[in-house]
């Protein structure tokens, strides 16, 4: 009985980690969509906000270092004007993340494989960017994405093991029609 209780606790911890990872992805997706919309409809507002945050660095090196770093980079990029490709990337990338999170939280089993492929492609892109211009922030973000990919994979495998006990219906069909 003690082993079963430990297994149950481990499964709950895994489920919690999975949901926290998805929440982080959803927040990331919302931020990308919001920034994409701001760049599209009100680029001046975003330029002013990012410049103001970037100029806060006079208050000491540790104060909001991550936010200041990204705001400074965003401010520099916005000074040259936001290319359409950046807007399209942010909107499509953020929307895709939100759709993946929705499908995974709704337990649509067909969504696990595409989610792993898409998140894997995002991670490969981040790796290329990291190699091109390495920073600790980019490395941490890539590491977080790899952890989230691992959590999604573990949840998919756990759900596949539960497929026999799940009644037919919502979320039980696999991505390519094979039984899981």
Is residue 60 assigned to a domain? yes
pLDDT of residue 70: 58
Cα–Cα separations (whole angstroms), residue 81 to 42, 91, 94: 12, 17, 21
pTM: 0.67
Is residue 73 assigned to a domain? yes
State pLDDT tens for residues 94-133.
999 999 999 999 989 999 999 999 999 989 988 998 899 8
Domain count, the chain: 1
CB 123 within 8 A of CB 143: no
Is residue 11 assigned to a domain? yes
pLDDT of residue 50: 65
Is residue 170 assigned to a domain? no
Query: Could you list the residue range(s) of the whole structural domain that residue 115 is in?
Result: 2-165
Is residue 101 assigned to a domain? yes
Is residue 178 assigned to a domain? no
Is residue 174 assigned to a domain? no
CB 149 within 8 A of CB 115: no
| DSSP class of 62 | S
What average pLDDT does the structure give for the chain?
77
Going residue by residue through the chain, which has 180 residues, state the pLDDT in tens, using 9 for 90 and above.
566 667 677 778 888 988 998 999 999 899 989 988 988 888 777 667 766 665 665 555 555 555 555 555 565 555 555 578 888 888 988 999 999 999 999 989 999 999 999 999 989 988 998 899 888 888 988 998 899 999 999 999 988 876 655 444 444 444 444 444
Is residue 179 assigned to a domain? no
């Amino acid at each position: 009985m003690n082993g079963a209780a430990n297994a149950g606790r481990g499964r709950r911890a895994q489920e919690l980690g999975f949901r926290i990872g998805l929440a982080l992805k959803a927040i990331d997706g919302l931020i990308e969509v919001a920034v994409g919309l701001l760049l599209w409809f009100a680029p001046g507002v975003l330029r002013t906000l990012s410049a103001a945050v970037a100029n806060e660095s006079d208050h000491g090196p540790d104060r909001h270092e991550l936010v200041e770093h990204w705001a400074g980079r965003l401010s520099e990029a916005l000074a040259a004007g936001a290319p359409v490709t950046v807007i399209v990337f942010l909107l499509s990338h953020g929307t895709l993340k939100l759709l993946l999170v929705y499908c995974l939280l709704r337990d649509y089993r067909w969504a696990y494989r595409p989610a792993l492929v898409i998140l894997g492609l995002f991670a490969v892109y981040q790796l290329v960017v990291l190699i091109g211009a390495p920073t600790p922030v980019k490395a941490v973000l890539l590491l977080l994405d790899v952890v989230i990919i691992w959590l999604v994979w573990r949840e998919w495998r756990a759900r596949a093991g539960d497929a026999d006990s799940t009644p037919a219906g919502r979320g039980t069909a696999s991505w390519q029609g094979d039984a899981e």
